[in-house]
Amino acid sequence: MARGASVGFMLVILLTSMTGCTAVTEGITGNSSSEEISVPTWELGDYWLYTFSTPDYSDDTTKLVVATTDIEEDGTAYMLAISSIGEARRHAVLNHNPFLGRITHEQLSPFENGEAKDVLDFPLKKNKAWSFSLFENDWNAVVSSVDSSIASIRATASDGSSIDYIFDGNIAFFSSFIWTDSEGVIQLKMKNADNGVGHTGDVYFVRGGDLYSNNWYNSGPDAEFVDTFFVSDHPKDGEWNEMIYFLDASCGGGSTITLTLRDHTSVSALERFWGPGVGLREGLRLQEWLRLRRGQTERHDRRAEGSPRDAAGVTAAGSPGRGPRSR
């Protein structure tokens, strides 16, 4: 039970995609000049090494890799996967990396909520302006300069948020991408450290679906919050093979937080307890609950195997804080 507590909870079931990349036949290409940059063509195995910075987690340096070039969206989009399985899982829950997943050939547009978002509008030239939506906000973008195949772009929103990004035609992708919210907090910073061709080895994209998201608040004495949700298959890829939860919570002195997940037979899949004065942001995979086969590796375009539960109950007694970001 909890006193004076708040809890934000999100649960996502995930279909994990893992791709073994082979060497590419050509390098990264682009048709650019000092005044205009055309859309580049990516090849299988092209990669970019980025350091990702967010306010709630330590920096993570990992590769974005072209995993496929002609499968997604009827052959009109690439698939960008990542060399860090942890980062892939984090993105599936928090959706903080828009450039992981499908990227269109025509404009290198990422997808959000199933729709392509034109963060770029090729050809890039000075003073070119366009609009797009991303991070659940509407943006007006302008190219401030183009020099030596490098375009500097600034996008602004009506709430004061901004995105400052640099597209480098020499590496055929961003050298920098910084999203700052309306309070001046940098929510995402991507900095390029290296790029190349011919990446080999496993890379990952987690194709997930939101199952449950809720916030609870209690300012009085003991409180208990109970809710249930139904777990069905992924609409296109069938059975799930792992589940991830993300919890953002805090409680005052003398308060405690207890989180319990149960299946439809009342078997507890997870029980967690936090003592007085805690502030936490936690995520966990529930592979054992779903009986995932150990060591399983799947290509991202194949159906993964697992044993999903029909339903799960969420019992959270705790104190409220900021809720989780929605995907």
Encoded tokens for 240: 């799930």
Distances 221 to 248, 253, 254 between C-alpha atoms, Å: 20, 12, 11
**CATH code for 5-16+208-317?**
2.60.120
Cβ proximity of 143 and 151 under 8 Å: yes
SS3 181: coil
- Predicted structure pTM score: 0.69
Name the phi and psi angles at 286, rounded to 5.
Answer: -110, 55
Q: Please say whether the beta carbons of 124 and 149 come within 8 A.
A: no
Residue 35 pLDDT: 83
Could you report the per-residue pLDDT of 65-102, keeping only the tens digit for each? 999 999 999 999 999 999 988 778 877 777 778 899 99
pLDDT at 18: 44
Q: 24-52, pLDDT tens digit by residue? A: 333 333 344 448 999 999 999 999 999 99
Q: What does the alpha-carbon distance between residue 187 and residue 29 come to, in Å, rounded to a whole number?
A: 31
Task: At 5, list the tokens.
Answer: 């507590």
Q: Give the pairing of strands 47-54 and 57-72.
A: antiparallel
